[in-house]
Chain A
């Protein structure tokens, strides 16, 4: 297989986008193409394929065949184009497909864009939209939402491992602190640990969303887009940046119905996707200098940090308490601010995670830079863990 690297990144400011879906996607795409040093004049970009990842472009924005519209909007005709919908894992799935297109020889250079508009919906509508990723017969019709899954999951984890709400808040505060250094982050304020946990006003300013999940232990609803330019490393084509190599990609699925899992706390697909990515890269958790883990709820950052092998089972929260997951810790997680503070435009998230790791590995993560970062991991979590993609990026040479 051919080696594949990333040579361009683009990212809108997450939060509210005052424009159309296509404008937002195109803005990130053009930024990535410019970052790569691609000539944007019609017919000169030489992009062979475009993958547009979005969970809601059809359902929310009522656009079908959106990738074709994007290609036309940014003058990349006659590039091949496909829209990728794989729930919240759409972004990383699109990166995987881009990798496959290049590795197989079908394409040399591919543009991946992840984009979502969630703030055109009310909070209730957004929650319902996201809930459509649950099982259509066994979960969704009964009113199960992602916050409700996360609430039950967190409660179970608390009972088994002694996790506290303060542990969740510690992870949240860390991610908000990181987001203060990310100009693309949706929320740029740092909550006070005392104010959101122990203060007399805490129950009102940090209310429960789905007990024991509170506002400050869940992600906001965000608009946003992120983009990557991937290329084969054997073409000799020159770009503005040295490629960040994709060393490994792993994907795994689990039962769609969460209740059918022998142990609901076991995020098998996270573990398996990471295992495959490590195997492909010839690396292990000890090789990872920085990670972006899918913290749609703070509990997920904690459990995923265990499932990808950073910490033993039940000790993710302890590691966060000890500061090990901070930018200056031995396993920095979610330096971008994570989904918690950077935001979570679902279909864009997997791409955005890769953008952050590329910036870290290029040494461009000003204010949140992990010292000497050479290898990073992303884990993009679809459904409630039923479809997960992990990606390892590195600046190290192969072998």
Chain B
């Protein structure tokens, strides 16, 4: 093995706590379209990065900070520089309409990173956020998820609607803004009205969504 590979091995974090794959699901949206939510591997990260890039200069609703940070996080996942991270795509007919990501801190604790809805008006972000909470609680079997918000929209959707517990003394990795926590009890309380979707995704529907393709338009850019 070349020296660089040994060095690289030293640099890569071990993967310990994202040990269960999130099974893809689909949701019928208000328009009748089917959105597929699925976890992606590192091989699919380049298109996720491309999908996020156009939002990096959109100041409105804090898309810029969310997009820039998400870009870095996905890049960090792709290049093995973040420990126990995962990335989900939301796609409609293969088109990327939203992305969420997060990581596991340890076996009991999850950490939500970012949620970005590329297509607006269909509460896609709410569904994608619910999917990652579902992953932490129902598949990784964790007890709590640490959450911060960088936009008023995020604060309304997560902190208020999920009645998150304020825990400012806990340090979230996203820069020390006030931390909130979704506990298992809160998840169980809100899950019936926040989380939906069906499994398995019919083969034909899944095939129509893989590979993912870039969004056709960004309403945020107008």
Taking a contact as CB atoms under 8 Å apart, the answer to whether A122 and B152 are in contact is yes
Taking a contact as CB atoms under 8 Å apart, the answer to whether B193 and A196 are in contact is no
In-complex Cβ contact of B195 among A122, A199, A204 (8 A): A204
Taking a contact as CB atoms under 8 Å apart, the answer to whether B193 and A204 are in contact is yes
| Distance, CA A73 to CA B83, complexed state (A) | 56
Interface locus among B24-32, B41-49, B89-97: B24-32
Binary per-residue interface labels of chain A (183-210) against chain B in the complex, 1 for a CB within 8 Å, 0 otherwise: 0000111111011100111111111000
Question: Chain A residues near B27 (CB, 8 Å)?
Answer: 201, 204-205
Question: Chain B residues near A206 (CB, 8 Å)?
Answer: 30
B79 in contact (CB, < 8 A):
no
| Distance, CA A110 to CA B158, complexed state (A) | 47
B221 in contact (CB, < 8 A):
no
| Distance, CA A205 to CA B197, complexed state (A) | 10
Question: Chain A residues near B32 (CB, 8 Å)?
Answer: 191-192, 194-195
Question: Chain A residues near B197 (CB, 8 Å)?
Answer: 201
CB distance from B164 to the nearest CB of A (A): 15
Question: Chain B residues near A205 (CB, 8 Å)?
Answer: 27-30, 122-123, 127, 196
| Distance, CA A195 to CA B127, complexed state (A) | 15
Question: Chain A residues near B123 (CB, 8 Å)?
Answer: 205
A104 in contact (CB, < 8 A):
no
| Distance, CA A158 to CA B5, complexed state (A) | 70
Taking a contact as CB atoms under 8 Å apart, the answer to whether B28 and A200 are in contact is yes
CB distance from A113 to the nearest CB of B (A): 25
Taking a contact as CB atoms under 8 Å apart, the answer to whether B198 and A122 are in contact is no
Question: Chain A residues near B156 (CB, 8 Å)?
Answer: 122-123
For chain A, what secondary structure do more than half of its interface residues adopt (helix, strand, loop), or is it mixed? loop
Question: Chain A residues near B194 (CB, 8 Å)?
Answer: 204
A124 in contact (CB, < 8 A):
yes
B4 in contact (CB, < 8 A):
no
Taking a contact as CB atoms under 8 Å apart, the answer to whether A201 and B193 are in contact is no
In-complex Cβ contact of A122 among B28, B160, B196 (8 A): B160
Cβ < 8 Å to A, chain B residues 53-67: 60
State how many residues of chain B have any CB contact under 8 Å with chain A: 20
Question: Chain A residues near B29 (CB, 8 Å)?
Answer: 195, 201, 205
Question: Chain A residues near B28 (CB, 8 Å)?
Answer: 195, 199-202, 205
| Distance, CA A196 to CA B197, complexed state (A) | 14
B216 in contact (CB, < 8 A):
no
| Distance, CA A207 to CA B126, complexed state (A) | 12
Say yes or no: A204-B30 contact (C-beta < 8 A), given A122-B152, A124-B160, A189-B121. Answer: no
State which size class the interface on A falls in.
20 to 34
CB distance from A233 to the nearest CB of B (A): 40
* Chain B residue with Cβ nearest A18: B60
Taking a contact as CB atoms under 8 Å apart, the answer to whether A187 and B30 are in contact is no
CB distance from B97 to the nearest CB of A (A): 13
A216 in contact (CB, < 8 A):
yes
CB distance from A146 to the nearest CB of B (A): 19
| Distance, CA A196 to CA B28, complexed state (A) | 9
Taking a contact as CB atoms under 8 Å apart, the answer to whether A196 and B198 are in contact is no
CB distance from B214 to the nearest CB of A (A): 21
* Chain A residue with Cβ nearest B191: A204
Cβ < 8 Å to A, chain B residues 119-168: 121-123, 127, 152, 156, 160
| Distance, CA A216 to CA B122, complexed state (A) | 11
Most B C-beta atoms less than 10 A away, residue of A195, A196, A204, A207: A204
In-complex Cβ contact of B193 among A187, A192, A199, A207 (8 A): A207
Question: Chain B residues near A190 (CB, 8 Å)?
Answer: 31
CB distance from B156 to the nearest CB of A (A): 6
Cβ < 8 Å to A, chain B residues 7-47: 27-32
Cβ < 8 Å to A, chain B residues 157-203: 160, 193-198
| Distance, CA A196 to CA B196, complexed state (A) | 13
Question: Chain A residues near B193 (CB, 8 Å)?
Answer: 203-204, 207
| Distance, CA A355 to CA B194, complexed state (A) | 38
Taking a contact as CB atoms under 8 Å apart, the answer to whether B196 and A216 are in contact is no
| Distance, CA A216 to CA B60, complexed state (A) | 26
Taking a contact as CB atoms under 8 Å apart, the answer to whether A187 and B121 are in contact is yes
In-complex Cβ contact of A195 among B31, B160, B198 (8 A): B31
CB distance from B28 to the nearest CB of A (A): 5
Say yes or no: A192-B31 contact (C-beta < 8 A), given A122-B152, A124-B160, A187-B121. Answer: yes
**Chain A residues engaging chain B, CB cutoff 8 angstroms:** 18, 122-124, 187-192, 194-196, 199-207, 216
Told that A204-B195, A205-B122 touch, could you supply 12 new A-B pairs with CB distance under 8 A? A122-B160, A189-B30, A189-B122, A191-B32, A195-B29, A195-B30, A195-B32, A201-B198, A204-B127, A204-B193, A205-B196, A206-B30
| Contact sample, A vs B, 5 pairs, CB 8 Å cutoff | A189-B30, A195-B30, A201-B28, A203-B193, A204-B27
Cβ-closest 10 pairs across A and B: A192-B32, A204-B196, A191-B30, A195-B32, A201-B196, A199-B28, A201-B28, A195-B28, A205-B30, A201-B27
